[in-house]
Structure 1
Amino acid sequence: LSTMQTHLSLQPLLCCSGAQGKFAYKLLHDLFANYSNALRPVEDTDRALNVTLQITLSQIIDMDERNQVLTAYLWIRQVWVDAYLTWDKDDYDGIDTIRIPSSYVWKPDIVLYNNADDQFTGSMETNVVIRYDGQVMWDSPAITKSSCKVDVSYFPFDGQQCRLTFGSWTYNGNQIDLLNGLDTGDLTDFVDNVEWEVLGMPAKRNVIIYGCCSEPYPDITYTLLLKRRASFYIFNLLLPCIMISFLAPLGFYLPADSGEKVSLGVTVLLALTVFQLLVAESMPPSENVPLIGKYYIATMTMITASTALTIFIMNIHHCGPGAKPVPKWAKKFILQYMARLFFVYEVGESCKSPKRQLGHLPTSPQQELLPPCLCHHNSLMRNVEYIANCFRDQKAAQKRSGEWKKVAKVMDRIFMWIFFIMVFFMSMLIMAKAI
């Protein structure tokens, strides 16, 4: 009994639903009996047809900086009034809207002017929603590739402005007037991008008169304001470079006899060259050098200079016994003042202990007391004097060589601190851009 009652209660609904379906078929037949989707649907051809455009940004798929192409997933909504698609909803059982394929009706030829897609794929052919007063609303998703002028002067701390300009391809402003649905693009359903942060998407209506025609052509330009998320580049390109750069001044601290001073500088230079090539591969070939590229070039220049100075200092260090004595100004300025300033001392030497002066070899008193009559000792005396002179010459040569080595060591310490300060300030300048 309960099943029968339920069946009887649903019969009016099924009958109403079936009747409404018949009215929908009748409405579709009546609307498109004498309708053509080839002509602009206005009763007065001298009046412009208003088309309202609204863009919703759903996702940024890719930002190709090298080719300057932005790939985005958009929802495009176009609303206009078709004068030939109106009906009295009371005549069709209260039907006020119908949804039919978009190919049935006339559609404005709104295109993306700065399209960069080689296949020229347009919007998806979705259904349109037609209201009883003739209002047609067409919502269609589209994956667009637009050209975007990329400025990488401050990469990786840069921001980009990508413009998407929509307008009619064949109709001028006297035939189709394009209007803004909103003052900005809709970002409600935007999916966050891992590389780019969207700051806004303002919309602006422009009316342009091109050189080919005298009629005005309206368009709507959406400016997508992007800011790069720099964390990836800081940890993968910037910090390794900074750490490698701090190794370069340590080449001055290596002992000159180790034979690794020049090798360290060349190795650091090659490592920075690899990082420079990684940045150059992803950047467009333009005159604007990226900020990180400027940092690499400055660091590579500094390391090249440090390697050249290391070679020069090594030549000073390896001055042989035949070298000239250290000039007086160098002894006073480098060996006294600069050595104390940078704490460069020899083994057993301090800033308070006086230097050990090399004196003349003492003459044996026994030799002085030898009577002149002992002529057979003259040969022995000459040999002893020759050995003493050789010993004095050797000590003098060692002193000159030791002074040049100390000059080289002091210069190493001076340049080490100079280059450390340079690397520190360069690193602080580049990191200040990230704040």
Structure 2
Amino acid sequence: MKSFWVICLVILPVNLRKTLHPHSPEVAAHYEKELIKLLEMKAPKHTPPNGAGHTDVMIDPMLRQLLDVNEREGYWVASIIIPVKYENQNITWNPADYGNITFIQVQPDVLWVPVVGIESAIKVETAFQYSIVTIRSDGWVLLQGDYLIAKMACSFDVTKFPFDEHRCNFNVAPMGFWLYYLNEGVYSRHNQSIYLPNDQWDILNLDHLIFRKERRAYEIAYEVHFRRKPLYYLITLVSPIVINYLLSGLAFFLPSDDGEKLSFGVTILLAQIVAVSAMSDIFPASSTSIPLLLYFVSGVTLHMAIMCFESVIVLGLSQNGWRKWMGPKTRRFIASNVIILIGLKPFKAKPTSKYLAFGAKRQSETNKLDSLPEDQDEHESFRGNNELLQQKRENNQLRWKFLAMVVDRILLIIHMFVVVSNLGFFTYKILY
């Protein structure tokens, strides 16, 4: 009997204190049930707090992740979360009367919640639903929803590709029957803690754009500012184009009478045409926003086509020029010291072979060759001078080959100037 009273005196007070402690789970659950009953009485499920009047609803859209950007089709896909809160003075309570409970969490079907969506979305792949509703003792209702995946239209400016930046908008508007205002929230504009980085784009900012009332009640537009990460396209697209353009100058170091000179130019030309075809699959088919890179590649393609035409001219001078006698002005030009300015030595005619050992006779023979007529029939003009006639033909052919070298060197200088100018201008325009 004594042990029975000991058990009663020791165990029962402990259990009693545990049951009646104001912070015990049982007491908290009891007060939460009382608060839910209060909500059911003062906050109807299907009407806003102010009934027919307007209700101020505060939103703070946050970008979760940029999923896809398609410049060619003109749309972007993003995962967005829209926290919502509004004030309902009908459901305030004194925490001291309910076990010091300052907030409770309930299901979305317990009270009225505003229906908010992205009005500018082309397609909503994941519908927006509230998952958590938090009610504070001062009457503020905080709603946290699932992530909304939306496909939205945007006009992309790819002028400075691959260093392009874009600004795309999405509109958040009320979707329900009841009239309520949407106000911008007081939270952070772009919460980096919840954003998942994209491997192609960097988010720079998420700004409130404008508070509109033109078409319908109270619609808020937001602007997302993002920038491309250029490394991938610099390695796979821009670098090969620039390298091929620089290598095109090697064609001028081939012999002027070599047919490989033309083949090399045609190869570079075809490579640039392939690059243009590849870029047409990336950029939008628009005439209002044409990338500077496309202008650059088109200019390079035109330059390579002109270089192929120049190779044909040089090759023709070298191989077919001997069919016509070179005029005296051209002969004086290639023999003058002006040729030194382009890195070549002036041309000197070749004397006949039997006078090679005699310096004075060599010079007089050369002068004699140059003074022979060029517009008369060779059988009448050079009768008995077959050796001189043959030597004059050889010198004429050498002069034409030398003239082809001069033209080729001048074209090389012009080519280098054009290449450096194009690369410098393109770099300046795309970076500044």
Contact map agreement 1:89 1:132 (CA 8 A) in 2: yes
- Equivalent residue number for residue 181 of structure 2: 177
- Does residue 415 of structure 1 match 2:419? no
Q: Deviations over 1:300-345 (max 9, x none)?
A: 1100100011112111111254x22223333344553553221234
Cα 1:337/1:82, change in 2 over 3 Å: farther
**Structure 1 counterpart SS, 2:204:** strand
Cα 1:121/1:192, change in 2 over 3 Å: closer
- Whole-angstrom distance in 1 between the partners of 2:235 and 2:292: 16
- Equivalent residue number for residue 150 of structure 2: 144
How far 1:357 sits from its partner (Å)? Answer: 5.9
The equivalent position to 1:19 in structure 2, one of 21, 27, 45, is 27
The one-letter code sitting in structure 1 at the alignment partner of 2:247 is: L
Structure 2: unaligned runs, 5 residues or longer: 1-9, 356-380
Contact map agreement 1:361 1:388 (CA 8 A) in 2: no
- Equivalent residue number for residue 108 of structure 1: 114
Contact map agreement 1:230 1:434 (CA 8 A) in 2: no
Cα 1:21/1:182, change in 2 over 3 Å: closer
**Structure 2 counterpart SS, 1:202:** strand
- Equivalent residue number for residue 134 of structure 2: 129
- Whole-angstrom distance in 1 between the partners of 2:276 and 2:11: 77
Question: Comparing 31-40 with 401-410, which one deviates more in the overlay?
Answer: 31-40
Contact map agreement 1:203 1:221 (CA 8 A) in 2: yes
- Equivalent residue number for residue 390 of structure 2: 394
CA RMSD of aligned residues (A): 3.1
**Structure 1 counterpart SS, 2:56:** strand
The equivalent position to 2:59 in structure 1, one of 50, 53, 61, is 53
How far 1:240 sits from its partner (Å)? Answer: 1.5
- Does residue 248 of structure 1 match 2:248? yes
- Whole-angstrom distance in 2 between the partners of 1:386 and 1:338: 33
- Equivalent residue number for residue 155 of structure 1: 161
- Whole-angstrom distance in 1 between the partners of 2:407 and 2:115: 74
- Equivalent residue number for residue 342 of structure 1: 342
Aligned length: 392
- Equivalent residue number for residue 70 of structure 1: 76
Contact map agreement 2:108 2:130 (CA 8 A) in 1: yes
Contact map agreement 1:115 1:146 (CA 8 A) in 2: yes
Cα 1:8/1:299, change in 2 over 3 Å: farther
- Equivalent residue number for residue 427 of structure 2: 431
The one-letter code sitting in structure 2 at the alignment partner of 1:311 is: V
How far 1:192 sits from its partner (Å)? Answer: 3.6
- Equivalent residue number for residue 187 of structure 1: 191
How far 1:85 sits from its partner (Å)? Answer: 3.9
- Whole-angstrom distance in 1 between the partners of 2:11 and 2:339: 106
- Equivalent residue number for residue 101 of structure 2: 95
Contact map agreement 2:257 2:314 (CA 8 A) in 1: no
- Whole-angstrom distance in 2 between the partners of 1:36 and 1:337: 102
Taking structure 1 as the reference length, the TM-score comes to 0.80
Question: Comparing 186-195 with 131-140, which one deviates more in the overlay?
Answer: 186-195
- Whole-angstrom distance in 1 between the partners of 2:13 and 2:334: 113
Question: Comparing 27-36 with 191-200, which one deviates more in the overlay?
Answer: 27-36
Q: Deviations over 1:346-372 (max 9, x none)?
A: xxxxx5xx834647988xxxxxxxxxx
- Whole-angstrom distance in 2 between the partners of 1:6 and 1:293: 86
The one-letter code sitting in structure 2 at the alignment partner of 1:25 is: K
How far 1:36 sits from its partner (Å)? Answer: 4.2
The one-letter code sitting in structure 2 at the alignment partner of 1:52 is: M
- Equivalent residue number for residue 309 of structure 2: 308
Taking structure 2 as the reference length, the TM-score comes to 0.81
The one-letter code sitting in structure 2 at the alignment partner of 1:402 is: L
Q: Deviations over 1:235-255 (max 9, x none)?
A: 221121111001222212211
- Does residue 258 of structure 1 match 2:262? no
Contact map agreement 2:68 2:76 (CA 8 A) in 1: yes
Cα 1:396/1:133, change in 2 over 3 Å: same
- Whole-angstrom distance in 2 between the partners of 1:97 and 1:272: 66
How far 1:420 sits from its partner (Å)? Answer: 1.6
Cα 1:106/1:396, change in 2 over 3 Å: same
Structure 1: unaligned runs, 5 residues or longer: 211-215, 346-350, 363-384
Q: Deviations over 1:80-133 (max 9, x none)?
A: 12355444544433333221222333222221122122x553224311111234
Contact map agreement 1:102 1:127 (CA 8 A) in 2: yes
Q: Deviations over 1:112-163 (max 9, x none)?
A: 122122x553224311111234321112232332222111111112111111
Cα 1:259/1:205, change in 2 over 3 Å: closer
**Structure 2 counterpart SS, 1:102:** coil
**Structure 2 counterpart SS, 1:209:** coil
Contact map agreement 2:122 2:151 (CA 8 A) in 1: yes
Identity of aligned residues (%): 22
Cα 1:88/1:398, change in 2 over 3 Å: same
- Equivalent residue number for residue 320 of structure 2: 319
Cα 1:417/1:187, change in 2 over 3 Å: farther
- Whole-angstrom distance in 1 between the partners of 2:11 and 2:344: 104
- Whole-angstrom distance in 2 between the partners of 1:14 and 1:424: 87
- Does residue 238 of structure 1 match 2:231? no
- Whole-angstrom distance in 2 between the partners of 1:13 and 1:249: 91
